[in-house]
Structure 1
Amino acid sequence: MVKLQVKYRDELQFLYETVVDTPVGDILKEVVAIYNGRLKVQRLCSDMEELASHGVVIPHEMQGLTDEQVHELKLRDEWVEKCVPSGGYVESKDPIGRRNGRAPNEKMAGVITRTVSEAKAEISKKQAEASVCVTQTMIGDALDQLRGASMIVYPMGLPPHDPVRMEIENREDLTGTQASQEVIDPALAQLWWAGKELQHDKALQEYVGKNEKTKIVVKLNKRGLGAPAREPICTEEQKKQMMLDAYRRQEQLKKLEEGNDESYLDSDWSDSTALKKNFHGMSNVKWRM
């Protein structure tokens, strides 16, 4: 199996495994699905952490308003009594006024936080460091775990406007958010290796050969952004090591130069003709020009 180290914007994202006779178009489709799936899991984890801390999201027209303003405008959250977490709730006011402040109790919050931690580990970039290849099945399992945790804590379901429910039902609206800049449209996706774009209609082996034990670094890119930067000749760690070796060599040369100090040759005691001069009575002769 060929292993691809998938990078985006010079940052390692995950490892992907395939065979050399697979069309590049099929590889790209699955790689983009995994990349976008990891982003979805990350967004869902973030929203569920907020859910565990401050309860469900209130209607958009009430967000950011004070209690007095809500009362003056005669606004009402019809979901506040419908969506009560299992085992009751604890008061935990949301400082940004986005959630209703009815957080799950410690036991139910623990269910969410443990599941979030497991899901994050499933799609973590550390998986690549441990040579674990990420698959769409792993992404699906992580999403199922998060969905299951939300159903345990809120068996009646979440409000339709809550981002956790929207993510689970694939209704998320990322318009105008930073997250929308990170997602890659499959129609605009490109895969680059060795400074050239891999063509969709060609098999991977036309680029890397037929050796199934090959391991290469590929880069995801969006069409229209030009070619991604080439891989550096050496890593930052290798650069640091080379600088350290050069410094050590420089220090060694300094010590050698100090050890080879020949200034003593100018001293009287080192004069090889001193005895002869002494016999001839010329040891104290001063020469004048």
Structure 2
Amino acid sequence: MVVLHVRSAAPAASPSPPPPDGDEGTEFLYECPAASSVADVAAALGALADLQARLLSLCRRLRARCADARDAGELERALDEAEAYASKEQVQHNRFLSPRALREHIKNIEKKCATALQEPPEALSLQESLSDSKHERIQLWWAGKELAMDQKLCDYIGVNDKTKIVVRLMKASDKR
């Protein structure tokens, strides 16, 4: 399996404030076969980056609300666990992100939030729709080149499945 160290830039029109450290991009590790098509990899990376950004944004938005809650201990713990799982530090520890685990963290936060804040998740606008159409405009860059969507990953990196590369995930309208 090829290991992709994915770096993505934050969307320009993000509704949530940037994180306190000022770095708006996200990073994560992803594993796939070298024979995977670039289009499939780009779609999977786009979905994973969206889930990671959604989870981190949700945690930031709920931190302020937690201070006002009377029973915020469990919610604080859920937020801490979710932020730790989705953080860039997972890359340093060679841990891969799982879409299923990200969704589970989001569901857990929604459940704890409804209990602690005594409001339904819909009232807190926790649900965000994720459209698959925005994944069509994703570009993958490696070694200063845009990877063509009609190619296979092995056309660029070779057939060795023990390769690790750093790729940049960008929206088609972003400039390099």
Same fold (TM over 0.5): yes
Q: Return the alpha-carbon distance in structure 1 between the equivalents of residues 151 and 129 of structure 2.
A: 34
Asked whether 1:41 is paired with 2:41, we answer no
Q: Return the alpha-carbon distance in structure 2 between the equivalents of residues 50 and 39 of structure 1.
A: 18
Per-residue Cα deviation, 1:51-89 (whole angstroms, up to 9, x for no partner): 211xxxxxxxxxxxxxxxxxxxxxxxxxxxxxxxxxxxx
Equivalent positions of 1:61-140 (< 5 A) are 103-105=68-70, 108-140=71-103
Give, in angstroms, the shift of residue 150 of structure 1. Answer: 1.5
> Which blocks of at least 5 consecutive residues in structure 1 are unaligned?
54-102, 173-184, 229-289
Give the match for residue 152 of structure 1. Answer: 115
Greater share of strand? 2
> Which blocks of at least 5 consecutive residues in structure 2 are unaligned?
10-22
For the Cα contact (< 8 Å) 1:191–1:218, is it kept in 2? Answer: yes
TM-score by length of structure 1 reads 0.51
For the Cα contact (< 8 Å) 2:26–2:49, is it kept in 1? Answer: no
Asked whether 1:209 is paired with 2:174, we answer no
Q: Return the alpha-carbon distance in structure 2 between the equivalents of residues 190 and 171 of structure 1.
A: 22
Which segment drifts farther, 209-218 or 144-153?
Answer: 144-153
Equivalent positions of 1:1-289 (< 5 A) are 1-9=1-9, 13-53=27-67, 103-105=68-70, 108-154=71-117, 157=120, 160=123, 162=124, 166-167=125-126, 169-170=127-128, 185-226=134-175, 228=176
Give, in angstroms, the shift of residue 133 of structure 1. Answer: 1.1
Residue aligned with 1:137, SS: helix
TM-score by length of structure 2 reads 0.81
RMSD: 2.3
Per-residue Cα deviation, 1:199-248 (whole angstroms, up to 9, x for no partner): 1121111111111100011111222434x3xxxxxxxxxxxxxxxxxxxx
Q: Which amino acid aligns with 2:112?
A: A
Give, in angstroms, the shift of residue 188 of structure 1. Answer: 2.0
